[in-house]
Structure 1
Amino acid sequence: MKAISVLGSTGSIGTQTLQLAEEFPDRFGVVALTAGRNLALLSEQIGRHSPEVVALADPQLLPELKARLDALEPSARPARRPELLAGSDGLCAAAAWSSAELVVTGIVGCAGLLPTLAAIRAGKDLALANKETLIAAGPVVLPELKRSGSRLLPADSEHSAIFQCLQGTPWADTARLSTGIPTPGLRGIQLTASGGAFRDWPAADLAKATVADATSHPNWSMGRKITVDSATLMNKGLEVIEAHYLFGLDYDAIEIVIHPQSIIHSMVELADSSVLAQLGWPDMKLPLLYCLSWPERLPTPWRRLDLTAVGQLSFKAPDQSKYPCMALAYAAGRSGGTMPAVMNAANEQAVALFLDERVHFLDIPRLIERVCDRHRAEVKADPSLSDVLAVDAWARQAVLEASASLAPKLLLA
């Protein structure tokens, strides 16, 4: 049985990971959980999985969690009382928990960076579902992976698809992931994108986009922030940067292709011009299960892919004018250093403002571009962890300052 730690257990990635642990109880055991504020769900998870340790981001919530655990019905109580921790130190301790063999990083945003680094420094293997680990701190994370020997398994459906396509090739090797060394024989990558909530909207209509519109994804069930990222196509831009760090390819060799059916999860082009693709229904449980079981594949009772039911697979190039965030991400990646961290933090803050209905949907790329332009002269080419955290905090504040001049536009929404 493989012992797993789940960072962000009450989020979309975390809940699906725990579902897999329940579906395969003889293969996976949960030893550590971390969570934010959803204590009702966390209490249920503790009762079902009996972890050795649980950590909360906010120390002030510990008394409430203890009270909830005390109030559980006898039949719903965990087999053992977990050690309860809190704060940044607590999250890092749970991430590096001694008995954990694999750490699933499901914390959204840069909040997951420190616990992920703690897991790497403890030599844990990682199922990486937190894009920001490599996007914001790739120059910091790569040397840490090399020092610790941790193996990084991509849990995003797109990067998992690439990783799966490379299995069975002479150069398939997890030790190569996140080294920045180009993968031999790999000519290019095509990341497929559904096109998000607005894929069928004319660009001119985006001025009328609401939060409800942007958080209604046609194919995938995801958290609100990443669903907005899908609507702006920033999620693909972030994945381009992540793919650059994972597979060592230049940005010119990483393409984005709109694929509305979300059946092909990504493709690789090899040196001899062959193209390999990984297909499946749009369900995050499949790439997550591959991370948990790698290098094995476990039999599942899940619905098999029926291409005759799908009918057709279509592709088109993304509209640059409709998705300006895509170009911003490519530009940040090519700038390197601290620029991806600034771009990522600006996006997180801008999306948060949009979800709070404080800025318009079209203001998201405007705010990101403004903040990245301000940082251009201050980019650090070889940042430390403290540099990354400093520019992350600066970019969030810069977005808040810049949003003040955009507030009147809400009257027109």
Structure 2
Amino acid sequence: MVTMTVTASAPRTVLVLGSTGSIGTQALDVTGRNPDRFRVVGLAAGGSDPRALAAQVLEHEVEAVAVTRSTAVEDLQLALYAEAQKRGYARGEFRLPRIFAGPDAVEELIDAAPADVVLNGMPGSQGLGPTLRALKTGAVLALANKESLIAGGPLVKAAARPGQIVPVDSEHSALAQALRGGRAEEVDRLVLTASGGPFRGRTREQMANVTVEDALAHPTWAMGQLVTINSATLVNKGLELIEAHLLFDVPCERIDVVVHPQSIVHSMVTFVDGSTLAQASPPDMRLPIALALGWPDRVPGAVPPCRWDRAASWTFEPVDTVAFPAVELARHVGSVGGCLPAVFNAANERLVAEFLAHNTSFTSIVDTVSQVVEAADEWRRPPRDLADVLAAEQWARDRAATIMSGGK
């Protein structure tokens, strides 16, 4: 009888960027429940919630942490000592992690704490620099920060080796899974599903007086404010259309968006023979997060599966492009390419901030973004470098402010 010894592979090392946000906290739940598979070596956050960040540092025994707000360092240090005391550490037993602070802190962390996987869950286009830095290290990029790919598309694609970017968005994770069912040349269309947000079925006129509170009441997902508002306007689905185009090299005109209120089918791929493969699971982001961290392997027990012993109905309906023009605007932007997606995204971020501050109306968000895009002829060219993308974004924010103030 031959005895075989199987050596378990070491856990994958992981950096979590945006650790105190929705994606980050769920990623840490996944890694915490699977210590044999993953080991967190660094965390990054804005620094606005030092107590939450301190708890994460101690819970996951992290040795390096970054905060983008320079003034948050002292608050974080105090929170770390308080958390250590609460957990029963004796005086002198607890060692502070290495702390990076300031606008370049996240990229410094990526260089200082090499990891197998970098999960970028930072909000908005501020994630572009860290995305490029993570790709440069050779780490797998688990990308939840779609804005960095959208804003810096040509730069990001040029920096990434084949298969280095693994999507975290549930829709793109679903597409990646379904695409395993056929060769690239067999793909006819990609189909992104959308919940429809809180205003599904309303006309444009019925959304004229929508409040911030109304728009933040998403029927399915719990997300940050920017993503939640983007889901309400369907800008998020427009961004996902551009992301799918960049990730999977499928032209924008062959990417459909369909409203699926139950949020069980996360996206689909239709093949040239008429077959459609769909990925279905309960609306729980821990599944795509776990898959991205472990790709191409699945993590057992990531979430409870759908129940097939209970009656359920799944419905699908077309997007009302009159009430929600963001998807077709994004299709145009993605088809043109260049710096235009960066303009689209940055203008939208500015308008969402103004809406949250009660300075503009809900329907004016996409209306104003459309005007910014229409005026952006100079930004149809590809970006030469990161500075080019940042310049396009600043132009878009400034143009949006000018339009809002009544200028041209």
**In 2, Cα distance between the equivalents of 1:378 and 1:225?**
24
**In 2, Cα distance between the equivalents of 1:252 and 1:285?**
31
Q: Deviations over 1:57-95 (max 9, x none)?
A: 011211111122122243536965310001232210223
Aligned-residue sequence identity (percent) comes to: 41
- C-alpha change, 1:45 and 1:296, in structure 2 (3 Å) is same
Residue identity opposite 1:41 in structure 2: A
**In 2, Cα distance between the equivalents of 1:271 and 1:94?**
45
* Kept in 2: contact 1:56–1:90 (CA 8 A): yes
Indicate which of 118, 121, 127 corresponds to 1:112.
127
**In 2, Cα distance between the equivalents of 1:121 and 1:55?**
19
**In 2, Cα distance between the equivalents of 1:79 and 1:165?**
46
Aligned partner of 2:7 in structure 1 is none
Aligned partner of 2:274 in structure 1 is 273
How many residues are paired up? 392
The structural deviation recorded for 1:197 is: 1.0
**In 2, Cα distance between the equivalents of 1:387 and 1:302?**
41
* Kept in 2: contact 1:265–1:280 (CA 8 A): yes
- C-alpha change, 1:296 and 1:218, in structure 2 (3 Å) is same
Helix, strand or coil at the partner of 1:300 = coil
Q: Which runs of 5+ in 1 are unaligned?
A: 172-182, 407-413
| 1:268-347 aligned within 5 A | 268-300=269-301, 302-307=303-308, 309=310, 311-347=312-348
Matched, 1:256 2:294: no
Helix, strand or coil at the partner of 1:113 = helix
Matched, 1:136 2:134: no
**In 2, Cα distance between the equivalents of 1:403 and 1:132?**
23
Aligned partner of 1:2 in structure 2 is 12
The structural deviation recorded for 1:98 is: 4.1
Matched, 1:157 2:170: yes
| 1:21-40 aligned within 5 A | 21-36=31-46, 37-40=48-51
Residue identity opposite 2:70 in structure 1: P
Aligned partner of 2:28 in structure 1 is 18
**In 2, Cα distance between the equivalents of 1:301 and 1:122?**
28
| 1:3-402 aligned within 5 A | 3-36=13-46, 37-74=48-85, 76=87, 80-146=95-161, 151-167=164-180, 169=182, 171=183, 183-300=184-301, 302-307=303-308, 309=310, 311-402=312-403
**In 1, Cα distance between the equivalents of 2:250 and 2:45?**
34
Q: Deviations over 1:150-169 (max 9, x none)?
A: 71111000000010112254
The structural deviation recorded for 1:292 is: 1.3
**In 2, Cα distance between the equivalents of 1:34 and 1:98?**
11
Q: Which runs of 5+ in 2 are unaligned?
A: 1-10
Q: Deviations over 1:93-116 (max 9, x none)?
A: 223344311000000111111011
Residue identity opposite 2:45 in structure 1: A
Helix, strand or coil at the partner of 2:16 = strand
Residue identity opposite 1:338 in structure 2: C
Residue identity opposite 1:64 in structure 2: D
Residue identity opposite 1:18 in structure 2: L
* Kept in 2: contact 1:50–1:79 (CA 8 A): no
Helix, strand or coil at the partner of 2:321 = coil
* Kept in 1: contact 2:41–2:113 (CA 8 A): no
